[in-house]
Structure 1
Amino acid sequence: CPMYPSINSMKDYASRTDVTRPYIMCEYAHAMGNSSGNFQEYFDIIRSSAHMQGGFIWDWVDQGLLTKDENGEAYWAYGGDFGAYNYPHDENFCINGLVQPDRTPHPGLMEVKKVYQDIRFAAIDPQRGEFEVQNHFIATNLSDYDFSWELLRNGEKMADGTFELNLPPGQKKAVKAPIPSVDMNDGNDYHLSVYAYTRKGDEIIPAAHEVAREQFSLATGSMTIQKPATTIPATFNKDGNTWSFDCQGNVTIKVNSRNGEVYAYAVNGRNLLNGSITPSFWRAPTDNDWGNNAHRRLNAWRYAGHNRKLTALTHDTDKERHIITATYTLPEVNATYVLSYTIHPDGRLGVESTLHADGDHMPELMRFGLRLPLDRSKDNFRWYGRGPWENYSDRNTASFMGIWEGKVDDQFYPYIRPQETGNKTDVRWATLTDDTGFGIKVSGRQPLNVSALDVTPDDLDPGMKKSQMHTSDVHHSRHNVYLNVDLAQRGLGGDNSWGRGPHKEYLLNDKSYNYSFIISPVIPD
C-alpha cells in the first residue's frame, strides 16, 4: 500500500508478472486546491493490470472553519487564523479536499466522477453511431439505467435518442445509435455524446441522476476564418502617438505607437475594449505550483510582459489589409516577443503572438496568451469548447465539447486559498456581451484556452508568501471583465502538493510559441 507513488513506479508494478499482492495506494492524487490533474492517467495504469486495485484520494473534504472578517464577510479559516499566526501551523494544508467544508464540490470532483464511473463506453465505429457499453458493476444489471445519445455539429445538437440495455455485471455489449447520415468531411466538428442515468431514486441518489458519460470525436473542422464581405481597406490616420484605422461597419481601431498596444476597438463610437490588449505569461499559482516552488522558480514570468521593451513598430499593407507588427524584448527571460495585428476591411482584427528564446534556455512558462479588458457590463460569457465547468490540459476528460454559456461571476471558483481558476480548453470561439447582445467575439485559428473573469492573476497572487489569503481578500472588479485568450496553460498536476509538478506533456518548456485568433464585434439584430 504505497503512499503517493510516482507514475513510473505504478507502471513498473503494473507490468510485473511475479506479484502476489494487489497494489492499493493508501493515499494518492492529492486534491489540494485546483488540482486532480492527470487523474485519467492514473486509471489508465490501474486498469491495465488485474493486480492494480486502486487507492484512496487524499482528501475528501476541505477542513476549514467558517468565520467572518472585520467587515463581516464570511470565509473559511485554516491554520494560522484565529490569532494563531505566530504559532506553529501548516497554513492551508488541511484545505486539500474534493469538496469544501460545506460539501460544495470542487470542479475537480467532476473529473474523479468521470474516471471512476462503472458504466464505461468504448469506440467501435462512432462515425456510424457504433460504440460498446461495458458494465463494470459487481452486482448491478444495467437494466436499472436509462441511456441517451446526442450528435453534435460544431457544438449544436443535431440529433438525439435514447436506448435501454439488459447487461449483467462484468459484461459488455455493442450498441448502434441511429445517427443521421452526414458528410463528416464537410469541414465541421462532429461529436457523439453518450450518457447513463438512474431510472429510480433512492435515499441517496435521485432519479434521472447522471452516473456516466462519454464523448467521441467524430471529425475535426478546419477552423478556417471566413473571408471579409468587403475589400475596401480601412482608412489610416496618424495623430501624434495614435494610429487610427477606420473600417467598414463603422469600426475604429487605435494603436498607441509608443508601446505598440491596441487600446481601442470601437463600433459606432462604442468602445469594446476598456484598456489595452496585453501579453499574459503568468497565472495565480495553484497549491501544487506552490509545492513545486513554481512561484519562485518561474518568477521571471510574473512581470515579463509588463516589463517588455518595444524595439520596433512597423505598419505595412497587404492588398486590402493593414498589418501592424510590434517587436519587444523580454529582458527577464532573454526572449523576443512579437505581436502582429492584421486589420481587415470589415473591422475584424487578426492577432498573432510569437515568443522565441534568444538563447539556449527559456524558463518554463505558466501560460502563453493575451488579456483583453472589457467593461463590466459585458458579463455574458458564451463559448464553444470544453465545459461547462473549468478544465485544464490535464483535467478535461469529464468536460465535453459543446456550446456553453454563463455569467462571468459564475466562472470564478472560490478556492479557499485563492488561486488560478476558470480556464476552458479546446475553445474554438468565445463571446462576451452585455444584456443587449453587444460585445466581442474571439475565434481561434487553432484551439484556445479561454477564461472570462472579473479578476486578474495579481488579484489572486499574494507573491512570495501565501500571507493567509482567503476568498474575502479577493477584490472583484466593479469596472472590468478580463477575457484571457491563451494558446496554452501549464497543467495542474496532482501527484502530490509538495514537490511534483504536472507531467512533462503538460508543461510549457518549448523554446518558441506561436498562435493566432480573430477579434470581431458582436452586434445585436
Structure 2
Amino acid sequence: DSSRAVQYEQAHGNEFTDIDCPMYADYKHMERYGQRTDAKKPLIQCEYAHAMGNSQGGFKEYWDLIRKYPNLQGGFIWDFVDQSVRWKGKDGVTIYAYGGDFNRYDGSDKNFCDNGLISPDRVPNPHMYEVGYYYQNIWTTPADLKNGEVNVYNENFFRDLSAYYMDWQLLANGKVIRTGRVENLNVAPQQTAKVKLNIGKTCECKEWLLNVTYRLKNREGLLPAGYAVAKDQLILNPYKAPAMDLKNVEVVNTPTVAPQIQENDWRYLIINGDNFRLEFNKHTGYLNRYNVAGTELMNEDAELAPNFWRAPTDNDFGAGLQQKFAAWKNPGLKLTSFKWETVDNQTVVRAEYEMKNVSAKLDLTYVINNKGAVKVTQKMTADPQAKVSHMFRFGMQMQMPKTFETVEYYGRGPVENYSDRNHCTDLGLYRQSVDEQFYSYIRPQETGTKTDIRWWKQLDDAGRGLQIVADAPFSASALHYTIESLDDGWDKGQSHSPEVKEANLTNLCIDKAQMGLGCVNSWGAWPLPQYQLPYGDYEFTFILTPVQHGIEIE
C-alpha cells in the first residue's frame, strides 16, 4: 500500500479534480477541497489515516474538517486488520509473522501488511478506540452546565434517539459523586435538543467533570441492550495544578530537623533524614538511590536521568525520525557543576550539564524535605543560533524494582493515549498493573503512555512506593521493558514484540510532554505541528513523594 500511495502522489501531486478519489491526502488538501464552491461531488478518500502500529494520532483533525465542510464525506482507513499469520519465532516463541519471516528470498516490505485497526486475532488495537469515538453519531456539548443543561445533537440522518437512554456521572477530582439517567431522548435526526440533568451543586475547589453515555434500550443485531453507542466528557470546573512549593512536614512540639549531608565520600553525596536515605552520584549528578523506611525505590545501579527518546513507532521509522532525531538518543550530557547546600532546613542539590550534541545546557535541581520528598526541576536552555532537530519527549526516567507492579493514577484512560490520540479516553481514577501497560504491537515500539495526568502512584503489593505530581498535567508510563529493548535502532529490523524479554525492573517515564503519533501516512508524514516538540527552551517541575500503604508520607 505504501508504494501504491507514493505512485498516486507522484502522478497527481495530491491535487483534486472532480473525478479524483484521493488517497492519503493531508489536512491542507482536504480543507482546500472543502472550501470549494464548484465541487460536483463529495470527496471520499479511498485510503487515508494509515493505521500502522501505534498510530491514529491526529484523527480528530481529519474529522473536524469532515464535519465542518459538507462536501467532505469521509474515507476508508487503511487498513481494517493486521494481516499477519501466527508463527513460531526465536526459541519457539509464538509471534505474528510478516514479510521477511518466512524465508530470505521473498520480496518484503517488512510489516507493511500490519496497518490495521484490529490485530490478526480480531482484538482491537488501542488506536481503534479513537476511531470509534469519532464515528459516533450522538454528541454532547455544554449549554448551561452550572444548571445541569447540556445540548444533545443527533447526527443521524434517518433515526431519532428514542432507541437510546443517557447515563450520566458527576465526578469530583475523578471520583463519582452523583449519577443519573435520562430515559427519553426526544431528539430528531440532524437536530439538537437541550436536556436538563439534576447534577446538584458544585464548587470551585475541585475539578468537576460530567460523563454522559448513550446506551441501547433493546438489543439491535449483534449489539446487546445497554451497549454504549456514544459518550462525551464535559468540564464543569477545570483542573488547577497544585503549588510546587515543597514544605517540610511539621510535628507539634517537635523541632524540624534538616536532612544530614555526608560530604566525605568521593563518589556519592549521601543525604540521610527521618527514615530515608538518598544518594547522588557525584560524577553524573543523578539521584541513584532512594530508600524510604527500608524500602529501596530504585534498582541497584539505576538513576533518575533526563530522557528525550522513545522507541520509534512505525510512523517514526517511516518518516526517518529515528535518524533525524538521533542526537537526542545520546545528547552528550557532561556534568559541569555539582553543588549542594541546606536552605530552610531542606537540602538543595544542583547539577549543571552541557549537551554538546544538541548545543544546549541542562540544569537539574533537587529540593529534599525532612520526610524524603523530592522536588525535581529539569530545565533546558537551547542555543537560538543552533539548527537542531525536534525531540521525541522531554522528561526523566528511572528504574524501580519489578515488584512495583501497581499503577494508580488520575488522568486519561483506561487504554494508552498520546497528545494527538487521547480524545476517546476519559479523565478518571484508574488502578492497573504494569503488565497491562504494555501492548504487543506486531513490531515492538513505544507503548503504554497515559496523558493529562494529575497524579500518578507507582506501588508494590504492600502499597509502598512513590506519588508524582507536576506543575501541569503530564504524561507517564511504566513498563517491564527498557526503551532500548523496544528500539530497533538505526533501521527497522525483523523484530516481534513477544520475542522481547521482560527486564527485571519497572521502567518509569515521567514526561512534561511526548511528541504525537500522526496518521496521515507511514512513509514520511509527521504529526501535526501542535503535537511536535521543536528544539527550544523547556522546563519541567515535579515532586516525588514517598508512599506507605497507598498513602503519601506526611
TM-score normalized by structure 2?
0.91
- Given candidates 122, 133, 144, the residue that maps to 1:103 is 122
Distance 1:319 1:55 in 2: 62
| 2:256 maps to 1:236 | no
- Structure 2 CA distance for aligned equivalents of residues 205 and 189 of structure 1: 34
Distance 2:320 2:126 in 1: 24
| Deviation sequence 1:450-484 (CA, Å, 0-9, x none) | 0111112111111112221012321111x200111
Among residues 436, 442, 458, which one is paired with 2:468 in the alignment? 442
1:104-145 CA-partner distances (Å, limit 9, x unpaired): 111111100111101111121223322111111233331211
Deviation, 1:441, is 1.1
Q: 2:281 aligns with which of 239, 246, 256?
A: 256
SS in 2 for 1:143: coil
Match of 1:377 among 403, 408, 411: 403
2:354 corresponds to 1:329: yes
Q: What is aligned with 1:213? A: 231
Aligned to 1:142, what secondary structure does the other structure show? coil
Deviation at 1:359, TM superposition (A): 4.6
Structure 1: segments with no counterpart, 5+ residues:
none
Aligned residue for 2:403, secondary structure, equals: coil
SS at match of 1:263: strand
| 1:51 equivalent among 71, 92, 105 | 71
Does the CA contact (< 8 Å) of 2:202 and 2:208 recur in 1? no
Of residues 70, 75, 82 in structure 1, which corresponds to 2:95? 75
Matched, 1:505 2:530: yes
What is the alpha-carbon distance in structure 2 between the residues aligned to residue 521 and residue 128 of structure 1?
A: 40
Q: Tell me if 1:363 matches 2:382.
A: no
2:290 to 262, 265, 268: 265
Residues of 2 paired with 1:217 and 1:224: CA distance? 21
Letter in 2 for 1:244: I
- Does 1:521 pair with 2:541? no
Do 1:126 and 1:192's aligned partners in 2 also have CA atoms closer than 8 Å?
Answer: no
Amino acid at match of 2:67: R
Q: 2:143 & 2:243 partners in 1: Cα distance?
A: 30
What one-letter code is carried by the residue in structure 1 that aligns with 2:72?
A: M
- Unpaired runs of 5+ in structure 2? 1-20, 251-255
Matched, 1:159 2:178: yes
Structure 1, 445-454 or 234-243: larger mean CA deviation: 234-243
The alpha-carbon distance between structure 1 residues 70 and 265, as it changes in their structure 2 partners (threshold 3 A), is closer
Q: TM-score, normalised by structure 1?
A: 0.96
Of 113-122 and 9-18, more deviation after overlay is shown by 9-18
Q: Deviations over 1:170-211 (max 9, x none)?
A: 222111211121222x2x212111111122224411222211
CA distance in 2 between counterparts of 1:23 and 1:120 reads 23
Q: Which residue of 1 aligns with 2:421?
A: 395
1:62 partnered with 2:87? no
> In 2, Cα distance between the equivalents of 1:432 and 1:140?
47
2:372 pairs with one of 327, 347, 351: 347
Query: What does 1:166-177 correspond to in 2, within 5 Å?
Result: 166-177=186-197
Q: Deviations over 1:383-433 (max 9, x none)?
A: 111111100010011111111111101100100011100111111111111
1:318 alignment partner AA: V
- Amino acid across the alignment from 1:404: Y
Is the 8 Å Cα contact of residues 339 and 353 (structure 1) preserved in structure 2? yes
1:200 aligned residue (218, 221, 241): 218
How many residues are treated as equivalent by the alignment?
A: 518
Query: Aligned partners of 1:334, 1:206: CA distance in 2, in Å?
Result: 58
Does the 8 Å contact 1:335/1:359 carry over to 2?
no
State the one-letter code of the partner of 1:155. Answer: G
Name the CA distance, whole Å, in 2 between partners of 1:322 and 1:127: 45
For the residue of structure 1 that corresponds to 2:114, the secondary structure is coil
One-letter amino acid of the structure 2 residue matched with residue 108 of structure 1: H
Aligned to 2:47: 27
4+ aligned runs moved over 3 Å, structure 1 = 225-228
